[in-house]
Amino acid sequence: MLTMLRDYLRLLLFFAGTLAGLQIPGFVDQYGKSLQAHLAEANRQLAGFQADAERYFGGNLEQLIAHYAASNDPIFNAGGDNLSSMAQRRYLLQDALQRFQRNAYSPYSELLLHPLADIRREVWQHYSHNVLLKPDAMAFGLLSGLLLAMATEALLGLLWCMLRWPWRRPQPQ
């Protein structure tokens, strides 16, 4: 009976680890889509200013920002500061998306090591738990389930040995 219960516990841990592991690729996918959406929005916000930069400064947005900053009009000057902030945000989003799309492992490393905190927080707040039926997501889930079951089995085995050790009788020689 105890052996059967232990086997069921092992299966339950494997299943729980697999389901938890399947969520990670889903979260990474939603983070990437959110990066793309924010970049598209930043590009739309700057489209009119970019058209002005094309018309007056050969497409150089930095020169347009400098023109705004050089103005004596405080309202025009403040608009230049806002424009500079929007351009910096677009650059930040473009850079993050390029790093995110670099290779198959970069989305995970980017989200773990260098995420955009506001976007990660937004994705976490609106995350809808889902199961991606893509080969990499299934492999990630199965691997995490296996690792969780093996780690728990090893810890319980170690705990069992430590609890049993003081009551061990010396073997006759």
| 42-51 per-position pLDDT tens digit | 999 999 999 9
pLDDT at 128: 85
pLDDT for the residue 157:
84
Q: What is the pLDDT of residue 20?
A: 85
CA distance 94 to 118: 15
In contact, 44 and 63? CB cutoff 8 Å = no
Q: Which residue in the block uniquely carries the two structure tokens 């050969």?
A: 58
Q: Which residues of the chain have pLDDT under 70?
A: 165-173
Model's pTM, two decimal places? 0.78
**Whether 35 contacts 157, CB under 8 Å:** no
Chain Cα centroid distance, residue 35: 10
Residue 34 contacts residue 119 (beta carbons within 8 Å): yes
What pLDDT does residue 87 have? 95
pLDDT at 167: 60
